[in-house]
Amino acid sequence: MYLALAIIVIVVAIVAVVVTQNLLNPKNDNTPKENPIALFDTSFGTFKVELYQDKMPQTVNNFVKLVNDGFYNGLIFHRIGQGFMIQGGGYYTNGTRKTSPYGNIPFETSDVLHVDGAISMASTGAKVGGAAEFFICDGAQTFLDGNYAAFGVVIEGIDIVRTIAAQPQDKSESETVGKPTTDIIINNIIILS
């Protein structure tokens, strides 16, 4: 009898402690969620990009949706410039254009800047929303701030971005910017978290 009473008292005490802890330290359901990380697997190696969901939700949601659809798999970086950027997300190796099934998104802006390694939406001009094409900065590109939608930054593997940017290119846009003379393929992109 005393043993059963002792067990009941212990169980009641444990329940009381748990309830008190939950009342004193409630879980904050408004805690910020971690930003997603995108892993780029290219023919030149891999790199990771943190996507600033907290600051650029519309742009990140569009990019993540395309990644999850497998949209970028097999496309190339079709425009590069050492000390400037690498651009991809619009062409296959045979030159065929690929467009987003979702169309353009509105231009979005925040305090995210075009720092070294920033990922940003490519578009037809300043303050114009993009669709699927993106570029990654090889060095800070401050003149783009406020005019293009930067939405994340490379957090691992910036050396791969630099290697891609330094590849020979056809100088089709300028002495320093053009289409790579060798295909640089995006094997796939996956969202890690």
Q: What is the 3-state secondary structure (H, E, C) of 111-172?
A: CCCCCCCEEEECCCCCCCCCCCCEEEECCCCHHHCCCCCEEEEEEECHHHHHHHHCCCECCC
Amino acid identity of 192? Answer: L
Domain membership of residue 132 (yes or no) is: yes
Domain membership of residue 143 (yes or no) is: yes
Over the stretch 14-64, which tens digit does the pLDDT of each residue have? Answer: 555 454 455 445 555 555 679 999 999 999 999 999 999 999 999 999 999
Amino acid identity of 160? Answer: I
The per-residue pLDDT of the chain, averaged, comes to 90
How many helices and strands in the chain, by DSSP H and E? 3, 8
Rounded-to-integer distance, Cα 148 and Cα 121, Å:
6
Q: How many domains does the chain have?
A: 1
Rounded-to-integer distance, Cα 155 and Cα 51, Å:
10
For 31, which DSSP code?
S
Over the stretch 138-178, which tens digit does the pLDDT of each residue have? Answer: 999 999 999 999 999 999 999 999 999 999 999 999 999 99
Domain membership of residue 78 (yes or no) is: yes
| The predicted structure's pLDDT at residue 33 | 78
The boundaries of the domain holding residue 105 are: 37-191
Domain membership of residue 72 (yes or no) is: yes
Domain membership of residue 97 (yes or no) is: yes
Phi and psi of 33, rounded to 5°? Answer: -80, 155
The answer, yes or no, to whether residue 79 has pLDDT greater than 60, is: yes
Domain membership of residue 27 (yes or no) is: no
Residue 81 pairs with which residues in a beta bridge? 85
Phi and psi of 118, rounded to 5°? Answer: -65, 145
Q: Which residue has the tokens 């570029």?
A: 135
**Is the distance from CB of 152 to CB of 61 less than 8 angstroms?**
no
Domain membership of residue 12 (yes or no) is: no
Assigned token pair, 172: 């089709």
| The predicted structure's pLDDT at residue 8 | 59
Rounded-to-integer distance, Cα 11 and Cα 182, Å:
70
CATH number (domain holding residue 93): 2.40.100.10
**Is the distance from CB of 118 to CB of 111 less than 8 angstroms?**
no
Domain membership of residue 61 (yes or no) is: yes
3-state secondary structure (DSSP) of residue 110: coil
